[in-house]
Structure 1
Amino acid sequence: MSHPNQLEVKQTSIPGLLVVSLPLHQDERGWFKENWQREKMVAAGLSDFRPVQNNVSFNGERGTTRGLHAEPWDKYISVLSGEIFGAWVDLRPGPSFGTTFTLRMGPDQAVFVPRGVANAFQTLAEHTVYSYLVTQHWTAASRAEYSYVNLADPQLQISWPISLEHASVSQADRDHPCLAEAKPVQPKKIAVLGSNGQLGRAFTKLAQDDPRLTLFSRDDLDLQNLDFSSRLDLRGYSHVINAAAMTAVDRAETDDGRAEAWQVNAVAVRKLAAQCAQQRVTLVHVSTDYVFDGTKREIDEGHLISPLGVYGQSKAAGEQAVLAHDENYVVRTSWVVGEGSNFVSTMRRLAEQGVVPQVVDDQVGRLSFTSDLARGIMHLLDSGSASGIYHFQGTGEPRSWYDIARQVYELSGSDPASVVPTSSQAYATNGKTVAPRPQNSTFNTDKFKATGFIHRSEQELLGEYLDLLAAQSNQPTK
């Protein structure tokens, strides 16, 4: 048998099922191999799956056959002694459901088996030692997520080297259902915190067509509660999307508001990030333009944070807690518009009431519609985009709040000249507690676009949003 000279990772006909060629270093005493070497294997293309347990199966007789079992975790299988015929069947929902792959394996190969792919093997030599790493500890509850398919199902067309009639097979494995009756292994769930907020409501709509999304409102999980993380069981989850935040920017400058902002936006996020890291769950944290001072004309992900007020400072602290752990995302956005109270809905209401508002004209940026933002975040996860910081905003030329207010008035059938421009300084002299705001909230979004995400037109989204508000108030837009 020839052995590979270097480590190599190859794709198979089943998405995510990878064959690893392992160099064997031999001399007159025997051989040595690096059966699992994280740094080298990840560099070669293997998932950084971080196993938690190593199991070993000794099989004394040739023809011992086990499987086909699909567990709710990833596995990395190898042969320590002897030889096997391995067989795998994709039991994940989707176009690859039912796809098979087979391989004769000795000590010079290993296979990475992703969650939901059924695994089986048949020993081709006596005293075969079969080893596998897993990414999750077995529990009684996890048993319900298992799926099975019959080794002898003719639809699979698996050519077992030793006939199953003469092989050693357990009765349980002989009784497993055929592929037509096999239970698909559902993907891991994605938790969305803050489902009652503007972004959370956008995820609620996506959840109607995406069963992975599990929504948590403040009633379910309140980040103001000091022990909230003890109520969050992340078993069976791949990601947490933190759309919850204390966003009352002006109130954050008060004594009570300051404490709340730091608890929700910083302290709770630190605990959440630590728990996600402990349970190997990726955290997606939504942040804000307020982590910058607004002195830059266009801000990319590499700019240093420099928050002006308490809200921005608390969000910046939360970002750092998230980024302290690998594989997490921070998605910064600005000027959010979604279902609920926001600048555009306020201007639409004032236009309907005939109010002449004063609107600042020296703060510049772009609107971010939650329907597009929620799609964008799911694209990051589903496309396997690299972890780290991403900036997300609407498209088009940057505009001031005053410019946007005029457009809202015009599209709502009111005179845009009714909107009166004012400066940030003048607006802040009305006796209220007003937090400092960045004068420039224009993001460079090239990194997000490079992931392949296609933004919808900001003008199109604004028109749809105003139409929705008009329908809710039974008033037509222009």
Structure 2
Amino acid sequence: MVFGKSLQRIETTIPGLVLFELPVHGDSRGWFKENWQREKMTALGLDDFGPVQNNISFNDAVGTTRGIHAEPWDKWVSVASGRIFGAWVDLREGETFGTVFTAELDPSRAIFVPRGVGNSYQTLTPDTAYSYLVNDHWSPDTAYTFLNLADETAAVDWPIPLAQAELSEKDKAHPRLVDVVPVAPKRILILGADGQVGRALRVAYGDEPHIEYAARADLSITDPDLAQARHWRDYGVIINAAAFTAVDSAETQEGRAAAWQINAEAVAHLARIAAVNGITLVHISSDYVFDGEAAGAYSEDDVFSPLGVYGQSKAAGDLAVTTVPQHYIVRTSWVIGDGANFVRTMASLAEREVDPRVVDDQVGRLTFAGDLADGIRHLVDTRAPYGTYNVTGAGAERSWADVARDVFRLTGHDPVRITGVSTDEYYSGATAAIAPRPRNSMLDLSKITETGFHPRDGSDGLTAYLRGVS
């Protein structure tokens, strides 16, 4: 063991498997080290993996060999006394399946082993003890994936030949690599999968086996027992596409309660689940968190100033999501997807020879649900920095009346048939509750484009959408 090393992160041949050199301070009395130091480790780029259990393995004899086991959790392995030879094999689905990495560990070295990477250890000195922090509690129902220590494909060069080593009968019986079923990725749960954004997410993610779609009838975010509804440690990402979006109804007594329950209280409950279980939470926000009085496009950092109940409940939900260490808040506006919406209504009126009056003093950009879903998947897949991102269609600002004229023109009808009116004039004779609308719904797209995702121009999206529904 070497005293006085500097803390250092060392990448290995297996993605996510990271070796660390640890500073050990010693004198005539013995030695001391910081075995796990959250602030320093995360500063070196290690995920804050949230350990919940600390285990110790003590081994009497030289040559005691354990593994190769791939567990459904992450672990931090370090030596307390003695020295071990470690062998790690990637048993996860993907191009690196079967990749091997080996190294010796003593008290001045530790390693972070991600979920699904098989790990095994052979003691090189007597009375060796090593500890491991894990981010899930052991259970008798836990499903492991195993690889035989003598697998010819992995071909681990054990310092002490296996014929001379101490092995358990179970470890001797584990399968060869050709018979190992690869460890699937952590599950991605999409809530609100029956809504227009949820249906677009079904298209974006397809039928990959680790994707789970939950409509409200399958799993409601307002369920008081939501924390017990799943074994949440099996999930890596939750995408919350469930929301109360009836902005006018939210101004009624019944609708107000529903808006706050779904958009705020339930989201706060979901955020607690995500934070406790180390899950990345993706939440869809709205331009309605702003009052629309800004002179230009809103950035992700602008202060909330919602005008109505819907916007207030969405702002409260956004604030709850920010408590999750790994979160994406995706703020959008004027969403058009599969189902009843403004564009379909205008196309129907055009076809039926109805000449509508349409508001012309609210401006923004259309966002097509498929583009929004692609933006969400981009953030998750690329592991973009956590935080809030505006995702709408690109292009110049348009009023609702401008959009209506575009729909008429693109469907072969005269856009002059559209009469533009002010918001106040449009709702002047209303007898039901009407929510206040932001006059400016423009959202700045600089941050999302910096991640490499470039939203489609709203005009191009509208042309393609109308072609698909015609």
Q: TM-score under structure 1 normalisation?
A: 0.95
CA deviation digits over 1:436-460, x for unaligned, max 9? 1001111111111122223234333
Deviation at 1:45, TM superposition (A): 2.1
| 8 Å CA contact retained: 2:239, 2:283 | yes
1:476 maps to none
1:79 maps to 79
1:400 maps to 399
Q: Which amino acid aligns with 2:467?
A: D
1:463 maps to 463
| 8 Å CA contact retained: 2:268, 2:321 | yes
Deviation at 1:369, TM superposition (A): 1.2
Q: For 2:79 and 2:227, how far apart are their aligned partners in 1? A: 40
Deviation at 1:209, TM superposition (A): 4.3
1:103 maps to 103
Deviation at 1:368, TM superposition (A): 1.1
| 8 Å CA contact retained: 2:3, 2:25 | no
Query: SS of the counterpart of 1:321?
Result: helix
Matches within 5 A, 1:166-177: 166-177=164-175
Q: For 2:349 and 2:28, how far apart are their aligned partners in 1? A: 87
1:412 maps to 411
| 8 Å CA contact retained: 2:240, 2:284 | yes
Deviation at 1:361, TM superposition (A): 1.0
Deviation at 1:232, TM superposition (A): 4.7
Q: Which amino acid aligns with 1:36?
A: W
Equivalent of residue 254 in structure 1, options 252, 255, 262: 252
Does residue 335 of structure 2 align to residue 326 of structure 1? no
CA deviation digits over 1:27-57, x for unaligned, max 9? 0111111011111111122221111011111
| 8 Å CA contact retained: 2:278, 2:326 | no
Q: Check 1:134–1:228 CA distance in 2 against 1; reply closer, same or farther (3 A cut).
A: closer
Deviation at 1:92, TM superposition (A): 1.0
Query: SS of the counterpart of 1:165?
Result: helix
Deviation at 1:228, TM superposition (A): 4.9
Q: Which amino acid aligns with 2:428?
A: T
Matches within 5 A, 1:118-157: 118-143=118-143, 146-157=144-155
1:183 maps to 181
Deviation at 1:225, TM superposition (A): 4.8
Q: Check 1:136–1:227 CA distance in 2 against 1; reply closer, same or farther (3 A cut).
A: closer
| 8 Å CA contact retained: 2:299, 2:390 | yes
Query: SS of the counterpart of 1:463?
Result: helix
Worse overlay, 220-229 or 446-455: 220-229
Q: For 2:409 and 2:209, how far apart are their aligned partners in 1? A: 40
Matches within 5 A, 1:224-239: 224-239=222-237
Does residue 356 of structure 2 align to residue 357 of structure 1? yes
Deviation at 1:222, TM superposition (A): 2.9
2:282 maps to 284
Query: SS of the counterpart of 1:261?
Result: helix
* Aligned alpha-carbon RMSD (Å): 1.5
Q: For 2:180 and 2:241, how far apart are their aligned partners in 1? A: 36
Q: Which amino acid aligns with 1:176?
A: H
1:474 maps to none
Q: TM-score under structure 2 normalisation?
A: 0.96
Q: For 2:92 and 2:388, how far apart are their aligned partners in 1? A: 30
Identity %: 52
Does residue 402 of structure 2 align to residue 385 of structure 1? no
| 8 Å CA contact retained: 1:199, 1:243 | yes
Query: SS of the counterpart of 2:39?
Result: helix
Deviation at 1:204, TM superposition (A): 1.7
| 8 Å CA contact retained: 2:366, 2:392 | yes
Deviation at 1:150, TM superposition (A): 1.4
Q: For 1:439 and 1:20, how far apart are their aligned partners in 2? A: 54
Aligned residue pairs total 468
| 8 Å CA contact retained: 1:86, 1:121 | yes
CA deviation digits over 1:91-126, x for unaligned, max 9? 111111111100011110000000010001111111
Deviation at 1:236, TM superposition (A): 0.6
Deviation at 1:191, TM superposition (A): 1.2
Deviation at 1:213, TM superposition (A): 2.1
Q: For 1:232 and 1:354, how far apart are their aligned partners in 2? A: 51
Worse overlay, 24-33 or 218-227: 218-227
Structure 2 residue runs of 5 or longer lacking an equivalent are none
Q: For 1:12 and 1:149, how far apart are their aligned partners in 2? A: 20
Deviation at 1:4, TM superposition (A): 5.1
CA deviation digits over 1:225-265, x for unaligned, max 9? 55555535423111211111110111111121111111111
Deviation at 1:212, TM superposition (A): 2.8
Query: SS of the counterpart of 1:413?
Result: coil
Q: For 2:228 and 2:167, how far apart are their aligned partners in 1? A: 43
Q: Which amino acid aligns with 2:45?
A: G
